[in-house]
């Protein structure tokens, strides 16, 4: 996936540290073995290695796990643009699984499509990597609600 720079401007200069701290508190991602690979204004990448605990009966990474890292990557992309005293929650998302999540690891590349004061529309593409080659396996579209003046606990 080619790298690119964001056209969004964060409301909080410390957004990357705030996102990393939030990710570190998220027990679901730790349980899955996911890691935060990259954070920039309006975008976020989460990686997950292929391991037995996240697979379904055919040996592919389970679709629910694919959805979980896509949801988090897109949600954290939204969080990069919110004020320091706010937090975010997923309102809804649609996940399209297009191919099995097979390979060495998967990556969810989340990005902001449109940032509003209360609602943020995001998307995430999930790629399965095998022998260094990326293959698109899922796409998510998401709506995030910004909780103004309600920082995370």
What per-residue confidence (pLDDT) applies to 8?
A: 83
What per-residue confidence (pLDDT) applies to 1?
A: 45
Within its chain, how far is the Cα of 141 from the centroid?
A: 11
Instruction: Report if residue 142 sits inside a domain.
Output: yes
Say if residues 125 and 73 touch (Cβ distance below 8 Å).
no
Instruction: Report if residue 53 sits inside a domain.
Output: yes
Which is nearest to 124 in space by CA: 144, 104, 102?
A: 144
Give the domain extent around 140.
15-147
* Calpha distance 93→145 (Å, rounded): 12
Instruction: Report if residue 118 sits inside a domain.
Output: yes
CATH number of domain containing 122? 3.10.129.10
Helix (H, G, I), strand (E, B) or coil at 6: coil
**% of the chain at pLDDT higher than 90:** 90
Tell the burial category of 97 from Cβ atoms under 10 Å away from its Cβ (0-12, 13-18, 19+): middle
Instruction: Report if residue 5 sits inside a domain.
Output: no
* Calpha distance 142→153 (Å, rounded): 23
Instruction: Report if residue 39 sits inside a domain.
Output: yes
- Residues in the chain where the model's pLDDT stays below 50: 1-2
Instruction: Report if residue 90 sits inside a domain.
Output: yes
What per-residue confidence (pLDDT) applies to 2?
A: 44
């Amino acid at each position: 996936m080619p790298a690119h720079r964001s056209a969004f401007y964060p409301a909080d200069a410390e957004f990357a540290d705030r996102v990393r701290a939030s990710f570190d508190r998220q027990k679901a991602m730790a349980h899955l073995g996911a890691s935060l690979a990259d954070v920039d204004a309006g975008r976020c990448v989460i990686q997950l290695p292929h391991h037995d605990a996240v697979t379904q009966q055919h040996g592919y990474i389970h679709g629910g796990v694919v959805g979980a890292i896509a949801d988090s990557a897109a949600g954290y992309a939204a969080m990069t643009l919110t004020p320091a005293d706010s937090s975010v929650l997923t309102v809804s998302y649609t996940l399209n699984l297009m191919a099995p999540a097979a390979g060495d690891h998967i990556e969810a590349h989340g990005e902001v499509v449109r940032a509003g004061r209360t609602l943020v529309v995001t998307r995430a593409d999930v790629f399965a990597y095998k022998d260094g080659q990326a293959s698109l396996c899922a796409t998510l579209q998401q709506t995030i609600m910004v909780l103004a003046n309600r920082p995370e606990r």
